[in-house]
Amino acid sequence: MDHVLPSLMDNINDCISSCYHSTSSAMMTDEQLNFLLQNLQYLFTYLAEQVFPLVTQYEILQKVCGNIRDFHGLSFNGYVEYEIVEYVLPQLQYMAEKVGIFLWDDLTSEESKVLKLPHLLMKIIPIELEVLETSLEVLREYLIHLQEHMITVTAPSTSGARNIHAMIEFLLIVLIDMPKDFIHRDKVFDLLARVGALIKEVSTLVHNLEEKSMNEESTDETSCAALDLQKSIELLKEDLTYVYLKAPDPCQWCFPMSEGPLFMHLLHINLNVLLDSNA
C-alpha cells in the first residue's frame, strides 16, 4: 500500500484542481466525483489501518466516503430520481472537496490533521444525514463532537443549551448504551432512521443557537423548535418501551451498563457544565 499512497494523493489533487481549471463549469463531472470518492475511501482505509489505527475518526471518514460513493453510484446509474440527484450532487461534491482539501493541505503535519478531524466531521456528516441513512458509528461520533462543540460556542448555563445537552445525552444512550440484545431485530434499522432524523434536527438547533448567540439575537424561535424536538424525543422514549425493546430479564438491568466509556464521557461533560455554571 505504501507505493500506492503517492498515486492516491495525486488522484485527489487532480480531481479537486481540475474542476477549477475548467472554463465551462466549476462542477466536477460524475466520473470525477466518483473517482475522487473512491480514492478518498481507499486512502482513509489505509490511514485507519496503518497510520492512525487508534484514531476512530479516520475509520468514520472511511465509512462516510464509502457510504457517499455507494449512493453516488446509485444516482449515477439511474437508480435515484433525477430531482433528488439534482439536489444532492452539489452537496456531495462539497463534501468530497472538503475531505480532499483537508488531506491535500496537511500532507506535512500529521498532528495537525488529527486535531482538525473533529472540525471536518462537523462539516461533512450533516451532508450524509441530509442525503441518506448512515451507520450507528457515524451517528455516535457526530453526536459526541456536536456536544463538545456546543460547550465551546454556547453558554452552558442557559436553559436552551441545557435542554439540547439533555437531548444529545438521551440519543447517545440509545446509540451506545442501549443493550443491543433488547432491541427487536426487525426494528433496528427503523430505530436508527428515527434517531438519525432527530440528530439532524438537533444539529440544526445547535447551529441556530450558535448563530443567534454570536449576533446577540433573540433565541425565542430556537426555543420553539427545541420544544417541538423535545416532543419528538418523548414520542421516541414511549416507542422504545412499547415498540423497539424486548422485555429484559431482571438480572440484565444492572450497573455498569454495556458501554462504560459512554458513562465516563457523559460524567465528564456534566462536570464541565457544572464547573462553568458555577464559575
Distance CA 144, CA 162 (A): 15
Q: Percentage of residues in the chain with pLDDT exceeding 70?
A: 68
Q: What is the pLDDT of residues 43-72, one digit of tens each?
A: 888 888 888 888 888 889 888 888 888 888
- Which CA distances in Å does 196 have to 84, 122, 133, 178? 19, 15, 7, 16
Q: Is 0.85 surpassed by the pTM of this model?
A: no
What are the sequence ranges of the domains in the chain? 5-132, 148-278
- Opening angle at CA 192, ends 187 and 195, nearest 5: 125
Indicate if the pLDDT at residue 144 is higher than 80: yes
Q: Residue 255 has what pLDDT?
A: 45
Q: What is the pLDDT of residues 1-54, one digit of tens each?
A: 455 566 767 777 776 666 544 434 456 778 888 888 888 888 888 888 888 888
Query: Hey, which residues does 245 pair with through a beta bridge?
Result: 183
